[in-house]
A and B are shown apart, each in its own frame.
Chain A
Amino acid sequence: MAGILKIVAQRLALGLITLFVVSIIIFVAVNLLPGDFAEAILGQGATPESVAAIREELGLDRPPVVRYLEWLGNAVRGDLGTPMSQALFSAYSGSNAGSGIGTVMEQIAPRFRNTVYLAGLSAAIAVPISITLGILTALYRNSAFDRAMNIFTLSSISSPEFFLAYILILFLAVLNPILPSLSNVNAEMSFWSSERFVKTLLPALTLTLVVTAHMMRMTRAAIINLLASPYIEMARLKGMSPMRVIVKHALPNALAPIINVVALNLAYLITGVVVVEVVFVYPGIGQLFVDSVKIRDIPVVQACCLIFAAAYILLNLTADIMSIISNPRLRHPK
């Protein structure tokens, strides 16, 4: 057990370093975006003087290194800063009176909850389906069922997300009005309410279609890979049913790669929802991200990127640890 804890600690430290590197990349990339907040917000009114005035008020005229270190220092303390829109509001009104915009954290928190809900729902649908399908396709490999499933999942993963979204909208919202095409959930709907569930279903199904193929094919491949092993042959010679051979003997040994691919796809569910959220008008972090890029609200963009990166790193870490735990050879390294 101590060994595992040590590995976890090591991995966490590595994750932190990765996050730090990522934060530098994010900062550089965001600052490379053409145009800036002052110009985006002023539009036609962007005269050099007014742009300079706003840049000065928002501190955009200082060197990037200084801004980065300041941002990093605050971020470490859990303060992701003030959205530029808030800063601009103060500049506009000439006072620091409340605008109702709040800090970056206040803006992101409810959106993040929504995104986690969507990711959770998608995972709850996608993971059981893809693992079951993976086992079944391994069991009936090269049958018509296997081929059909492969074709279906591969074509859904190969299509762009917005296209899948529109197909689902067409069949489930327009032609057969079963589900709403607008996923405008809001804070008044409780977390477990059926209204929230129904409204989130279409984006969740879209994401399910996107991630199923990867998980299903990995499960299938991992199991088939093991089916050639001598111990499986032994089990089969004992007269076990093929289903039992796979579930009882092959699956436990195939868990490591399966867990890995599941974790990777969960990370994708959180970070890759941008397009889906926009198409379904789902008020998650992805939509906030797009809106903030549009108005060049750099603190919010940076915070979103940081959250995406952290989610990715954490879930990868979980994948590593889970595969270590599920594999005695890695648990007790010689």
Chain B
Amino acid sequence: MSQISRRGLLKSGVAAGVLAATGLPVQAQAKRGGTLRVGLQGANTSDTWDGRTHSDIFMIAAAHGTVFDCLTEVAADGSLKGELAESWEASADAKTWTFNLRQGVTFHNGKAFGADDVIASLEMHTAEGAKSAAKPIVSAISEMKKMNDHQVQFTLESGNADFPFLMSDYHILMFPAGQIEEAIEKGIGTGLYKVENFDPGVRLVVSRVDSHYKDGTAGWFDSIEFIAINDNGARMNALMTGQVDVVNRVDFKIETLMKANPSIAIQEVTGNQHYTFPMLTGTDPFTDMNVRKALKHAIDRQEMVDKILQGHGQVGNDHPIGPANQYFHADLEQNDYDLDKAKFYMKEAGMDSINIALSASDAAFTGAVDAAQLYQSSAKGAGINIEVVQEPADGYWSNVWLKKPWCACYWSGRATEDWMFATAYESGVPWNDTGWENARFQELLLTGRAELDSGKRKDIYHEMQAIMSAEGGTVVPMYANYVQALNTKIATPDAIGNLWQMDNARMAERWWFA
């Protein structure tokens, strides 16, 4: 499967852009019909329709991608488009946002969708005692005002140019106001498909609603069956024997066998998912920027992509912004594997050799311990002696991450630069796993957040990526691809979303039977 990144599309796809701008559907050949059977890893018996609890692909695809809608949607090319919101506008300081809602939309139980539903759905995340992953997003809204039935105005505590992007978060689903409990129990949303049968951790059957505002642009299948197949072998077998049409998380070990099967196509995209080795910059020896720089030049990233990801990834450049982000700095100078540079920075730090412990466990990412050992052998030549400490997987996130001076970690990435930086690199945030404090970086972060001008934001975020890459406390060896496989009976648009796996978890809406 050819992979088309958002940037690649921008470079080569002026024509496609024109097509999109004229409103012509890019997938003109898409047609209705058939039952899609999806084999997905990532289901749990604890799954519910409550968006606040969603964290794994089964429910993300089932709720945000199939049964429910959000206010906005990240298109396959990375741009933002309206879902339940038709349009939005901001005040000059990006503090006040007015969303115009789509009219004539109904929930599966017949209730009409309007401004009250938006406000009630957002309030779910800040409800007393609620523990929602989207709480920081919603609690940044100081006031929600219903202007009329189809217009809502949000006032934010401080300007945020990415606010519409944040409204595409898969946690922030739109529920019917006043019937939220019932909607959570039965799965009542405004999506293209309504729930027929849901057995948590086992399967979900949905059928197409008769008429929908996305008619003609999405929702081609008549019905869809999501089957939870957590076992890798079983999932690949199910695809090979034709019992499901699509599977996620292809097992790299048998990927070549699958490629040999003419009725199976492998789909691979590089997104924001990346692995990291964060150092606590407040702890010696990582307080010394030269040591950090030496470490960044003592890692053979390509070797890691080849051996740990078996080629299914791209080298990282020590900042957390990925190819699925809008302002990804692709031309930033790559921190390369160069022992001379590493030795140079070691000398700058006034050292000939150094002993450092690197804590790793496969809880951080599959192959983390092996990756640490590769790092150990690649860094040896520069006088950097890495001692790999294998930590227990249980309790890794509470006992090792944020505690040990240097460890292995992963990030699934975020849809926007600000969101990613604010999660883990803003001064003082709880997940600042490098203890990163940099005045210029912090200043840029706050300026960029309230800046609406796209050109200026690009400069800001490029500079931030450059600062992190050169001085930051994290080593980002690689981006891990999303690899999924489908039967050749299934057709997809040319551009495949790379923000989440499975076409941004929206394969149910976007794909069709050829």
B120 within 8 A of A: no
Contacting pair A44 B49 (CB below 8 A): no
Contacting pair B44 A85 (CB below 8 A): yes
Contacting pair A181 B394 (CB below 8 A): no
B214 within 8 A of A: no
Among the stretches A98-106, A151-159, A305-313, A317-325, the one at the interface with B is: A98-106
B397 within 8 A of A: yes
Among the stretches A127-135, A184-192, A243-251, A265-273, the one at the interface with B is: A184-192
Question: Are A281 and B227 CB-contacts (below 8 A) given A39-B394, A94-B129, A186-B197?
Answer: yes
Contacting pair A92 B131 (CB below 8 A): yes
> Within the complex, what minimum Cβ distance (angstroms) separates A176 from chain B?
11
Q: Which of B44, B128, B131, B229 contacts A182 (CB 8 A)?
A: B229
Most buried by A among B45, B124, B129, B203: B45
B26 within 8 A of A: no
Question: Are A181 and B234 CB-contacts (below 8 A) given A94-B127, A291-B45?
Answer: yes
A226 within 8 A of B: no
A42 within 8 A of B: yes
Chain B neighbourhood of A283, CB < 8 A: 199, 202-203
B490 within 8 A of A: no
Contacting pair B46 A83 (CB below 8 A): yes
Residues 73-106 of A contacting B (Cβ, < 8 Å): 83-86, 88-89, 91-95, 97-101
A177 within 8 A of B: yes
A43 within 8 A of B: yes
Q: How far is A98 from B53 in the complex, measured between Cα atoms in Å?
A: 14
Contacting pair B238 A181 (CB below 8 A): yes
Chain A neighbourhood of B392, CB < 8 A: 34
A280 within 8 A of B: yes
Chain A neighbourhood of B198, CB < 8 A: 100
Q: How far is A177 from B127 in the complex, measured between Cα atoms in Å?
A: 53
Chain B neighbourhood of A41, CB < 8 A: 46
A259 within 8 A of B: no
Question: Are A177 and B241 CB-contacts (below 8 A) given A95-B181, A279-B234?
Answer: yes
Contacting pair B197 A188 (CB below 8 A): yes
Contacting pair A51 B131 (CB below 8 A): no
Among the stretches A10-18, A61-69, A227-235, A292-300, the one at the interface with B is: A292-300
Q: How far is A295 from B238 in the complex, measured between Cα atoms in Å?
A: 25
> Within the complex, what minimum Cβ distance (angstroms) separates B246 from chain A?
13
Chain A neighbourhood of B129, CB < 8 A: 91, 94
Q: How far is A313 from B197 in the complex, measured between Cα atoms in Å?
A: 36
Chain A neighbourhood of B430, CB < 8 A: 47
Task: Give the size of the chain A interface in residues (CB under 8 angstroms).
Answer: 55
Question: Are A47 and B398 CB-contacts (below 8 A) given A184-B227, A279-B233?
Answer: yes
Chain B neighbourhood of A180, CB < 8 A: 241, 243
> Within the complex, what minimum Cβ distance (angstroms) separates B183 from chain A?
10
Nearest-neighbor residue (CB-CB) of A98 within chain B? B185
Chain A neighbourhood of B53, CB < 8 A: 88-89, 92-93
Chain B neighbourhood of A181, CB < 8 A: 234, 237-238, 241, 243
Contacting pair B231 A278 (CB below 8 A): yes
Question: Are A91 and B45 CB-contacts (below 8 A) given A166-B233, A291-B230?
Answer: no
Chain B neighbourhood of A99, CB < 8 A: 48-50, 184-185
A303 within 8 A of B: no
Question: Are A186 and B200 CB-contacts (below 8 A) given A99-B50, A173-B241, A280-B234?
Answer: no
Residues 212-244 of B contacting A (Cβ, < 8 Å): 227-231, 233-234, 237-238, 240-244
Chain A neighbourhood of B244, CB < 8 A: 182
B313 within 8 A of A: no
Contacting pair B238 A297 (CB below 8 A): no
Most buried by B among A100, A283, A294: A100
Contacting pair B238 A281 (CB below 8 A): yes
B262 within 8 A of A: no
Chain B neighbourhood of A47, CB < 8 A: 398, 430
Q: How far is A173 from B243 in the complex, measured between Cα atoms in Å?
A: 10
Residues 364-420 of B contacting A (Cβ, < 8 Å): 392, 394-395, 397-398, 401, 409
Contacting pair A97 B185 (CB below 8 A): yes
Nearest-neighbor residue (CB-CB) of B185 within chain A? A98
B130 within 8 A of A: yes
Chain A neighbourhood of B184, CB < 8 A: 93, 97-100
Question: Are A34 and B394 CB-contacts (below 8 A) given A100-B185, A177-B241, A279-B231?
Answer: yes
B201 within 8 A of A: yes
Contacting pair A295 B46 (CB below 8 A): yes
Contacting pair A292 B45 (CB below 8 A): yes
Chain B neighbourhood of A93, CB < 8 A: 50, 52-53, 124, 127, 130, 184
Nearest-neighbor residue (CB-CB) of A187 within chain B? B199
Q: How far is A39 from B55 in the complex, measured between Cα atoms in Å?
A: 14
A45 within 8 A of B: yes
Contacting pair B243 A182 (CB below 8 A): yes
Question: Are A281 and B397 CB-contacts (below 8 A) given A89-B53, A101-B48?
Answer: no
Chain A neighbourhood of B132, CB < 8 A: 92
A107 within 8 A of B: yes
Q: How far is A86 from B231 in the complex, measured between Cα atoms in Å?
A: 24
Most buried by B among A162, A186, A294: A186
A4 within 8 A of B: no
Contacting pair A174 B181 (CB below 8 A): no
Chain A neighbourhood of B186, CB < 8 A: 100
Query: Given A45-B397, A88-B46, 7 more contacts at CB 8 Å?
Result: A48-B398, A98-B184, A99-B184, A169-B237, A184-B202, A291-B45, A295-B44
Ordered by A's residue number, 22 sampled pairs between the chains whose C-beta atoms are within 8 Å are A34-B392, A35-B394, A39-B395, A39-B397, A43-B397, A47-B430, A86-B46, A91-B129, A93-B50, A94-B130, A97-B181, A98-B182, A98-B185, A99-B185, A107-B45, A174-B241, A184-B227, A280-B234, A281-B227, A281-B238, A283-B203, A292-B45
| Residues in B lying within 8 Å of A, measured CB to CB | 39, 44-46, 48-50, 52-53, 55, 124, 127-133, 180-182, 184-186, 197-203, 227-231, 233-234, 237-238, 240-244, 392, 394-395, 397-398, 401, 409, 430-431
